[in-house]
Amino acid sequence: MTKSLNLKRFELGVCYYPEQWPETMWADDYRRMRELGFSVIRIAEFAWTIFEPQEGTFSFDFFDRAIDLAHQHGLQVILGTPTATPPAWLTSKYPEVLNVTQAGVQYQHGQRRHYNYNAQIYRELSARIVRKLAEHYGQHPAVIGWQIDNELNCETNVFYSAADNLAFRSWVQQKYDSLDALNSAWGAVFWNQTYTDWAQVNLTGPTPSDSPNPHQALDEKRFFSDSVIAFARLQSDILRELAPDQWVTTNGIFGHLDSHQLTEEALDFISFDSYPNFSTIFPAPGPEPLLDRRWSWNLSIARSISPNFCVMEQQSGPGGWVNRISQPTPKPGQMRLWTYQSIGHGADMILYFRWRTATVGTEIYWHGILNYDNRPNRRIREAAQVGRELETLGPLLVGTRPMARLAIVSDYDNEWDGELDLWHGPYTRQSVQAWFKVLQYRHIPVDSLNLRPTTTLEDMLKYEVLVYPHPAILTEDTAARLAEYVKQGGTIVFGCRTGYKDLRGQCYMVPMPGPVAELCGVTVEDFTRLETTQRAPLVRWRGDKTNGLTIAAEGFNDILQSVAPGARVLAEYDDEFYKGSPALVLNNSGKGRSYYYGAVFNEKAADALITEIGLTSPVARWLDLPKPVELCVRERPETGEKLILLLNYSEETQTINLKKAATDLLTGKPAQGEVQIPPFDVLILAEVTGSPITASP
């Protein structure tokens, strides 16, 4: 069951830290927030010592005043549970709660997220503070929901304390039951790693060449994820018991955490923290980089968990820590643009991070809406504009959902295995980037689909096309479901390195791509990894719509044999000792098709495949869009009514051509023909039903 944010009205708000400002400022802050149209604040996620100044002594006066005053101003409150920042009294009395690096160095008090999830005393003290908070605020009329902790697994996502080690041992004992099974799953016969006593089984430690047992490393990540989920469950069970009318979420999506399972087991919906400038400071290589628009992919992942979600932290200023790379300030219009980027991808509640820039601490350069000086500025004007616009737009948006006909498929097993295994992990990142960029520039909305044992055929059949770039780990069960998807009319695209490992990360002793060889009508005869310095071999395409294209086959080359009688070779290597061998094979089965491409996808290959498959933009018939404009479509499930969001990420005015009548929902005016979108601006359209499409000029 998908857990989605389900609101009656759009909520806009801001993260606020009453403990960081003189109390005399609160009323003015709240008044100004309301003037901007804000309806919600998030508070208290780092304030454990204020609630529990000494072990077992609780005090709510401070936050009672802050929350009651917010309530008087008509603001709703999301309360953070404060477990991301254990008090100094706690870590000094119980140092076993501190996290430890793989090299054995224990973190100390002074930053945040320095605890581990498995220390029994930390679990007890965390449960107690959450219980106290829920008892106290569980019925408060201003409190609408809870954020568990803050960004679980941010800062670090590996845990090697003594408590974690012991918990890992029980975890593997439960999973494998016998040492024989464990030794077999971890391939312990290789390099004499066989365990003869459970006491010898540990989390991975430092190893020569930094190269632990890969099967153990994969299990370790599953264990980290389970530990986080158990810790979140500890809190959400209490909140559900004591605050049944308030919802529960957490913010962010981070490594070594199955956020889909976390949401399923502990939350009502996921919240995401949206900082698009991270994509600008680490641009992807290649021409015409997507920059801040690349961030849209992260938002797509958030909506694969909750189709409508909350953005708990929306970037509202330049970012930077005192010691961390700084980000440029959002250009005029960009903060508003990013807000609509979140909306375009499914957010129905957005809180800016943060109200005012901190004047103390590590984040004095992580700017909020207001600067230290507290004067009105251009960012506050932009927030006000968004607030005004959402008054009319909000009711139209709420309950609509982004729609896409293509999904890029992923799964946690391959993600985690691919962190260590360089023979497939990096390829997935490259291929996803290439597909996403090409789809963006062709204005074809794309979803992320996390393939899980619970994913149904219906979930898959929502998409005409699934791209599963390099699923090295692929089980018979997944293969059977994918085969059924194709049989019923779906189109699937695989890249190199598909289907050669089982769930333990061990290699199958069958021709690749193993469990999908029959579906793809192809086997891999031979293969080679390409060095980065090596020129990628060229491939000649001869598909119906791609005949004559020559595209470099990058990264890795599977040298294919076309085996199934009906399978068709759509491209061949034109280079190397495997010149003439198939590089791309199409196989039809049932009502659908599968494509097996023997390399890593670059932009040209993704582009050619989209053409070959015949996928076009859903607005292609009536809307001409230039490349710098992102298209998002939000659709009301009950009526099929669509809202078209057009976002201009560039510094130049972009001209679009509307070949039928639409309504500009921000102005309420009709729009048709050539319409300009100024730099960093947005246009939100509703089609006028029944209006005819005019011929292109």
Residues recognised as catalytic: 151, 313
* Segment interacting with ligand GAL, rule: CB under 6 A, options 147-155, 261-269, 490-498, 540-548: 147-155
Q: Looking at 134, 154, 302, 646, which residue binds ligand GAL (CB under 6 A)?
A: 154
Which tokens go with 388? 């005004």
Q: How far is the CB of 384 from ligand GAL (least distance, A)?
A: 23
Residue nearest to ligand GAL as judged by C-beta position: 366
Q: How far is the CB of 151 from ligand GAL (least distance, A)?
A: 5
Nearest to 149 by CA among 245, 70, 63, 84: 84
* Segment interacting with ligand GAL, rule: CB under 6 A, options 96-104, 150-158, 465-473, 530-538: 150-158
Contact 230/167 with Cβ under 8 angstroms? no
The secondary structure element, H or E, covering residue 566 is none
- Confirm or reject binding of residue 596 to ligand GAL (CB under 6 A): no
- Confirm or reject binding of residue 366 to ligand GAL (CB under 6 A): yes
Q: Which is nearer to ligand GAL, 367 or 501 (CB)?
A: 367
Residue 681's Cβ-side half-sphere holds a number of Cα atoms within 13 Å equal to 13
Query: In this structure, is the dihedral angle defined by the CA atoms of residues 422, 425, 426 and 427, taken in order, positive or negative?
Result: positive
Q: Which is nearer to ligand GAL, 99 or 271 (CB)?
A: 271
Q: How far is the CB of 353 from ligand GAL (least distance, A)?
A: 6
Q: Looking at 258, 273, 348, 382, which residue binds ligand GAL (CB under 6 A)?
A: 273
Q: How far is the CB of 416 from ligand GAL (least distance, A)?
A: 22
β-pairing verdict for 347-353 and 11-15: parallel
Q: Which is nearer to ligand GAL, 154 or 451 (CB)?
A: 154
Neighbouring CB atoms inside 10 A of 393's CB total 19
Q: Which is nearer to ligand GAL, 211 or 359 (CB)?
A: 359
CA distance 335 to 329: 9
C-alpha distances out from residue 376 to 21, 27, 373, Å: 17, 16, 9
Helix/strand/coil for 10: coil
Task: Return the beta strands (E) in 458-555 as ranges.
Answer: 465-468, 491-494, 522-529, 538-541, 550-552
β-pairing verdict for 309-315 and 347-353: parallel
Which tokens go with 410? 């992923």
Q: Which is nearer to ligand GAL, 351 or 623 (CB)?
A: 351
Mutual angle of helices 425-441 and 296-305, in 10-degree steps: 100
Contact 658/621 with Cβ under 8 angstroms? no
**Residue 323 falls in which region: left (phi positive, over 0), alpha (psi -120 to 50) or beta:** alpha
- Confirm or reject binding of residue 363 to ligand GAL (CB under 6 A): yes
Task: Return the beta strands (E) in 199-298 as ranges.
Answer: 247-249, 271-274
- Confirm or reject binding of residue 150 to ligand GAL (CB under 6 A): yes
Residue 624's Cβ-side half-sphere holds a number of Cα atoms within 13 Å equal to 15
Start-to-end C-alpha separation, the chain: 47
Q: How far is the CB of 16 from ligand GAL (least distance, A)?
A: 12
Helices (H), 177-213: 179-185
Q: How far is the CB of 154 from ligand GAL (least distance, A)?
A: 6
Residues 278-317 that bind ligand GAL (CB under 6 A): 313
Place of tokens 């994969």: 218
Q: Which is nearer to ligand GAL, 213 or 249 (CB)?
A: 249
Residues binding ligand GAL: number (CB under 6 A): 8
Q: Which is nearer to ligand GAL, 163 or 262 (CB)?
A: 262
* Segment interacting with ligand GAL, rule: CB under 6 A, options 146-154, 216-224, 466-474, 501-509: 146-154
Q: Which is nearer to ligand GAL, 354 or 540 (CB)?
A: 354
- Confirm or reject binding of residue 151 to ligand GAL (CB under 6 A): yes
- Bridge partners, 551 (sequence order): 539
Q: Which is nearer to ligand GAL, 363 or 664 (CB)?
A: 363
Share of the chain residues as helix, strand and coil, in percent rounded to the nearest 5: 35, 25, 45
Residues 333-362 that bind ligand GAL (CB under 6 A): 353
Q: Which residues bind ligand GAL (CB under 6 A)?
A: 150-151, 154, 273, 313, 353, 363, 366
